[in-house]
Copies of this chain bind each other. A is one copy, B any other.
Amino acid sequence: MDAESEKILARLLKTTRVAALGTLHDGAPFVSMTSLARADDGSAFYVHVSRLAQHTRDMDADPRVSLMFAEADDGRVDPQTLARLSIQCRAEKIERADESYAAIQKLYLSQFPASEQLFSFGDFNLWKLIPEKARFVAGFARAFNITPAELRRVVKIK
């Protein structure tokens, strides 16, 4: 991947707060919207979801999920040149008893302070989405397969 594309990818990873989340629902894809926090080292993303929500029930039934981050449509003539990243992930619920829970809750709330009250609700849980492979499109006909190690490396780029 060229340096310019790496910069675009780093920016996308660092500025995205809202992504598309694809889950498997009755054997078909289902895409919803989710807020998400990123582990500082780029090794995982965290979502805070109600167990009543369809995407949560889907993740419970099948941990294979897909995240998609895209640059916002700025009205340019050709939106196919917008940068976007698709990440295939494995979803894992973080139990409240897990030793990592408090730190992840703190990280999440630092980005989404409005969610504080939801953490007191019994039906909301933190889930960890762990990247397994990714596809990055920096613009038209500039596409790259990305490994989890590359995501961790690129997220450090200033």
Contacts and interface: CB of A to CB of B under 8 A. Distances in A.
Interface residues of A, number: 39
Contact of A73 (B17, B27, B77): B17
A80 interface: yes
Interface SS of A by simple majority: strand
Interface string A25-56: 00111111101000000000000000000100
Interface stretch (A94-102, A107-115, A149-157): A107-115
Contacts of A68: 20, 31-33
10 contacts: A17-B79, A18-B79, A22-B22, A22-B66, A28-B66, A30-B88, A31-B31, A31-B68, A33-B84, A72-B73
Interface of A: 17-18, 20-24, 27-33, 35, 54, 62, 64-68, 70, 72-73, 77-80, 82, 84, 86, 88, 112-115, 135, 137
Most buried by B among A62, A86, A88: A86
